[in-house]
Amino acid sequence: MNNFIVTTIRKPTEAVEMLAKEIALKLGGNFVAREDLSFDALKTIHGAENILLVKKNSLSVVTSEGELFFHPNTAHLRIKNLRGGESDRLIDALKISSGSKVLDCTLGLGSDAIVESFVAGKVVALEVNPLIAEVVSHGLKNFTDDSPHILQAMRRVEVINVDYGEFLKTCADNSFDVVYFDPMFRHAVKKSSGINPIRPLADNRPLTKEIVAEACRVAKNRVVMKEHNGSSEFKRLGFEILDGGNYSSVAFGVIDKA
C-alpha cells in the first residue's frame, strides 16, 4: 500500500485524537499530530503519499487527486427510484431479490453495495485497499444524514479488507447467489471528478480468467461485471453483454449459470 500517515483536523477533541491513534495502530501507519500544518507540509515532512484524516464524525483520505470521503452518492436517487417502482440496471443484471446472498468484490465508494443491500438485505463487500476500506466502512456505520431506508441498507453492508482473489479461494461452492465485479476503469474518465480522488488508491489490475472461474464456482446463479460500454474485457473473460443502457458509458456483462 502507498505510504501514508494518520492525522486529525486542527484543534481536535481528545476523542478524535484517540480515534486517529487507534486507526493508525490498526492499519499499521504512523499517527502524526496535526498542529497547524497544511496537508502538503505534512506529506513533505513525513514522506507520505496519502493522509488519512480523522474528523469529528467522519474519515477521509487526502490523495494527490483530492480528498476522498464517504457519501452515498447516487445510491440515494437509485433507491428512491426503486421504491417508486422503477428499475435499476445493476439490480436487473444481478437478478437479486430479498434474501439473496451477494458478494460484491469491489466495494470502492460503496454506492453499488448500498443499492444491493437495499434489495437483498445483506451484502458482503470486499476492498483490497485498507484506506478505502476504513473510510467507507466507517461511513456505512456512522453516516446519519439520509432516509431510514438508505441508512438501514448501509448498516447491512459487511466490509472486508481483503484481495478478492484470495477471498474467493476460501469460499465454498455456490456459497453466494451472485458475485459482482466493478473493476476500476484503466482508461480514466476525467470528467468523473467525483471519483478522481480514489484513483491513486484504486486497484488497477484487470480481472483474470482464473478469478472469473473462481467466481463462477462460488456463485450459485450468476457472475456480473461492469465495464466501459464497448470494452473488449467482456469477450476476453467470457461475459455476455446485456442489452439496455445504449446511451450510458457503462455496460453490464453476465455469466449465467442457470
- Give the pLDDT confidence score for residue 191 in this predicted structure: 47
Arithmetic mean of pLDDT, 91-110 = 97
Q: What is the 3-state secondary structure (H, E, C) of 83-145?
A: HCCCCCHHHHHHCCCCCCCEEECCCCCCHHHHHHHHHHCCEEEEECCHHHHHHHHHHHHHCCC
Q: Distance between CA atoms of 240 and 73, rounded to whole angstroms?
A: 28
Which residue intervals of the chain are DSSP H helices?
A: 14-27, 39-46, 75-83, 89-94, 111-120, 130-142, 148-155, 164-170, 209-218, 233-237
Please give the mean pLDDT across all residues of the chain. Answer: 92
pLDDT at residue 39 tops 80: yes
Q: Distance between CA atoms of 88 and 115, rounded to whole angstroms?
A: 9
Q: How confident is the model at residue 175 (pLDDT cuts 50, 70, 90)?
A: very high
Task: Please state, for a pLDDT cut of 90, what percent of the chain lies above it.
Answer: 81
Name the residue ranges covered by the structural domains of the chain. 4-56, 75-256
With the C-alpha atoms ordered 197, 202, 205, 208, is the resulting torsion angle positive or negative?
negative
pLDDT at residue 193 tops 60: no
Name the CATH topology of 75-256.
Answer: Rossmann fold (3.40.50)
Span 54-76, pLDDT tens digits? 999 999 999 998 999 999 989 99
